[in-house]
């Protein structure tokens, strides 16, 4: 990552030439830091505010250049809203707009004095970590597939000022965690943004292998089609059949815990392009189905974060990966396939392919006798209808696990929200010809998709994250978000029982 972030307890004598980032509240109220800087700059900030150029609205910015009589070159005023108490939503916009403003200036380094703003019920340690995550997010640029890469910013170094010296050590750990989360998110975003003709199952496999080689305590194994056949993954392979790209089954194993510690398994849907297959999708926005491997990307990204932090846990990342295309060999509606579990599946809609590859991955995960399994998938359009783009759908067969994941999402500001998985919904999956149908009719699409997966998790403590709404943004800011790497990391940090974290 190009931006280096560190923490310091700064004295105002030691500011160098950096850009100072200070907060202004609504009603022309200066933050403590702004007050201080105003003092050494002969009242410059107060003058500017009086003239009406900065009203303190959360997320507004104003760059002041060449303040007289001081060493630093710039002061960035950042609106921090009302009452010193921001919502997490406003806080995101404050940090993002501040970093975007510095990124677009000529500044090489900046010192951020926004750490003392109070965000909902969070402390300054939380703020430090989130600032790191949001800053890296704002600096992210995807230009791998552009011919010219002229968008490089000169902004390379960000120092977070920690007002209270006694918080410094904790803030250091927080920023380290934030940096690691961002590095996993950036990898997830890169993989998501790459097009289907580049980011194939083979590409995902080699990325995972490369990361595994670079990491400590991680091994990566890739199963090819033959090996999957031997294991009886008939459901996964039925989806792969319609494509000329060979399917890959990726297993990443981070051994950070004791040998006897049961692993936590993360499974990510890795459909590198979803055309729908024979039940083909409408052509509008079909390009966005290159993002159908964002579950896989988030698992590969989280494994990177886990490894960078050397979490004292055993974590296994599994990615079943293939394309879903129409072809003479492809699944046809009505086809019946046999899953690795032995259950037969009637493929009533070839576009419900995610569950067909995930079910075999879930069965495969049984061999690890996991403590918990979490699958992450862009599984249903219905989830976007239900929750929009703000929260992932959260379902599973263990209330304790669901609760932990829900809390982790809130804490990491990468939210998921529970939906019910009641037995009543299971009836929608009845098939006249096989053990189970792969679709459940028009109602409750996200729930019936999870019901399908639940048939393969009877031996597991399992939760499912439907990230169809949160994995990428559409419109002018089209691109992968890197979610839910932060949620997954937060959950895993919780599993370390305070050994890592603040
Ligand atoms: N990858 C899609 C889900 C999806 C669609 C995610 C749109 C984000 C935006 C998935 O494979 C799919 O096609 N699901 C179908 C299921 C249906 C056939 C039961 C859907 O949601 O329409
Ligand atoms: Mn589909
Ligand atoms: Zn899909």
pLDDT of residue 67: 94
- What CA–CA distance (Å, rounded) separates 116 from 494? 25
Residues whose CB falls within 8 Å of the CB of residue 64, separated by 6 or more in sequence, listed in order: 44, 45, 48, 74, 75, 76, 77
Tell me how far apart the alpha carbons of residues 468 and 178 are, in angstroms, rounded to a whole number.
24
- Residue-wise pLDDT tens digits, 452-485: 999 999 999 999 999 999 999 999 999 999 999 9
Tell me which DSSP letter residue 368 carries. G
- Only one residue has tokens 């080689």, namely 213
| 177: β partners | none
The pLDDT value recorded for residue 497 is: 87
Minimal-distance CA residue to ligand 1 atom 17: 352
Ligand 2 mean position to 354 CA, how many Å? Answer: 6
DSSP, residue by residue, 402-425: HHHHHHHHHHTT--EEE----HHH
Q: Are 349 and 409 in contact (CB under 8 A)?
A: no
Distance from the alpha carbon of residue 502 to the mean position of ligand 1, in angstroms: 38
Contacts of 479 (CB under 8 A, 6+ apart): 142, 189, 192, 193, 472, 473
The two counts, helices (H) then strands (E), for the chain are: 15, 23
pLDDT band at residue 16 under the 50/70/90 scheme: confident
pLDDT over threshold 90, residue 397 = yes
Q: What is d(CA 211, CA 435) in angstroms, rounded to the nearest whole number?
A: 39
Q: Given pLDDT bands bounded at 50, 70 and 90, which one contains residue 320? A: very high
* Residue 355 appears among annotated catalytic residues: yes
Nearest Cα neighbor of 212 from 165, 254, 240 is: 254
Q: pLDDT value at position 184?
A: 98
Asked if 18 and 110 touch (Cβ cutoff 8 Å), the reply is yes
- Split at pLDDT 50, 70, 90, the class of 13 is low
Active site residue 92: no
The CA distance from 142 to 194, in Å, is: 9
**What pLDDT, in 10s, does the model give residues 283-305?**
999 999 999 999 999 999 999 99
Contact 225, 357 (CB under 8 A): no
**Summary mean pLDDT of the chain:** 96
Q: Which atom of ligand 1 approaches the CA of 288 most closely?
A: 9
The mean pLDDT value for 92-109 works out to 97
Q: How far is 381 from 328, CA to CA, in rounded Å?
A: 26
User: Ligand 2 centre from 274 Cα, in Å?
Assistant: 5
- The preferred substitution site among 347, 376, 381, 474 for testing ligand 1, maximizing ligand atoms within 8 Å of CB, is 381
Closest CA relative to residue 197, chosen from 93, 323, 304, 84: 323
The conformation of residue 182, written as its DSSP 8-state character, comes to H
* C-alpha to C-alpha distance for 299 and 303, rounded to whole angstroms: 6
Which residues approach ligand 1 with their CB closer than 6 A?
274, 292, 349, 351-354, 378-382, 384, 439, 445, 468
Among 401, 451, 397, 406, residue whose Cα is nearest residue 424:
451
CA distances to 66, 81, 85 from 116, rounded to whole Å, are 25, 14, 10
Tokens 């800087």 sit on residue = 37
The residue written with tokens 């200066």 in the block is: 30
Ligand 1 atom at minimal distance to the Cα of residue 381:
21
What is the pLDDT averaged over residues 201-229? Answer: 98
Nearest CA-CA partner of 94 in 73, 111, 77, 72: 77
186-206 pLDDT, tens digit each: 999 999 999 999 999 999 999
**Residue 116: predicted pLDDT:** 80
């Amino acid at each position: 990552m190009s931006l280096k972030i560190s923490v310091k307890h700064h004295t105002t004598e030691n500011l160098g030439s950096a850009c100072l980032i200070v907060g202004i509240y609504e009603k022309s109220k200066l933050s403590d830091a702004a007050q201080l800087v105003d003092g050494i700059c002969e009242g410059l900030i107060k003058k500017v505010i009086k003239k009406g150029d900065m009203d303190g609205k959360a997320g507004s910015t104003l760059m002041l250049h060449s303040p007289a009589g001081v060493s630093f070159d710039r002061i960035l005023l950042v609106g921090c809203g009302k009452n010193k108490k921001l919502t997490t939503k406003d806080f995101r916009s404050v940090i993002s707009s501040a970093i975007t403003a510095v990124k677009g200036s000529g500044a090489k380094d900046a010192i951020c004095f926004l750490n003392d703003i109070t965000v909902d019920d969070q402390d300054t340690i939380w703020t430090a970590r989130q600032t790191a995550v949001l800053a890296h997010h704002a600096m992210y640029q995807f230009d791998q597939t552009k011919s010219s890469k002229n968008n490089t910013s000169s902004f390379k170094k960000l120092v977070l000022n920690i007002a209270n010296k006694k918080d410094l050590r904790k803030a250091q750990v927080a920023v380290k965690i934030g940096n690691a989360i961002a590095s996993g998110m950036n990898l997830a975003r890169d993989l998501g943004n790459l097009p289907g003709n580049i980011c194939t199952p083979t590409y995902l496999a080699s990325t995972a292998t490369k990361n595994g080689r670079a990491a400590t305590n991680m091994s990566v194994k890739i199963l090819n089609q033959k090996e999957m056949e031997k294991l009886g993954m008939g459901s996964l392979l039925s989806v792969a059949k319609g494509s000329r790209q060979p399917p890959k089954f990726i297993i990443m194993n981070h051994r950070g815990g004791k040998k006897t510690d049961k692993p936590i398994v993360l499974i990510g849907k890795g459909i590198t392009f979803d055309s729908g297959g024979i039940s083909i999708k409408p052509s509008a926005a079909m390009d966005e189905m290159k993002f159908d491997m964002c579950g896989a990307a988030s698992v590969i990204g989280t494994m990177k974060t886990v490894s960078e932090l050397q979490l004292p846990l055993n974590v296994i990342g599994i990615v079943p990966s293939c394309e879903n295309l129409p072809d003479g060999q492809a699944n046809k509606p009505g086809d019946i396939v046999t899953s690795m579990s032995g259950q037969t599946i009637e493929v009533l809609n070839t576009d419900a392919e995610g569950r067909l590859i995930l079910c075999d991955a879930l069965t495969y995960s049984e061999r690890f006798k996991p403590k918990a399994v979490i699958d992450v998938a862009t599984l249903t359009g219905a989830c976007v209808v239900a929750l929009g783009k703000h929260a992932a759908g959260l379902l599973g067969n263990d209330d304790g696990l669901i609760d932990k994941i829900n809390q982790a999402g809130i804490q990491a500001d990468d939210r998921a929200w529970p939906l019910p998985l009641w037995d009543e919904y299971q009836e929608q999956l009845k098939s006249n010809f096989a053990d189970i149908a792969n679709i459940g009719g028009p109602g409750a699409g996200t729930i019936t998709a999870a019901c399908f997966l639940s048939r393969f998790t009877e031996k597991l403590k399992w939760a499912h994250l439907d990230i169809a709404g949160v994995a990428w943004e559409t419109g002018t800011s089209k691109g992968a978000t890197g979610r839910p790497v932060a949620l997954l990391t937060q959950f895993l940090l919780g599993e370390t029982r305070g050994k890592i974290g603040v």
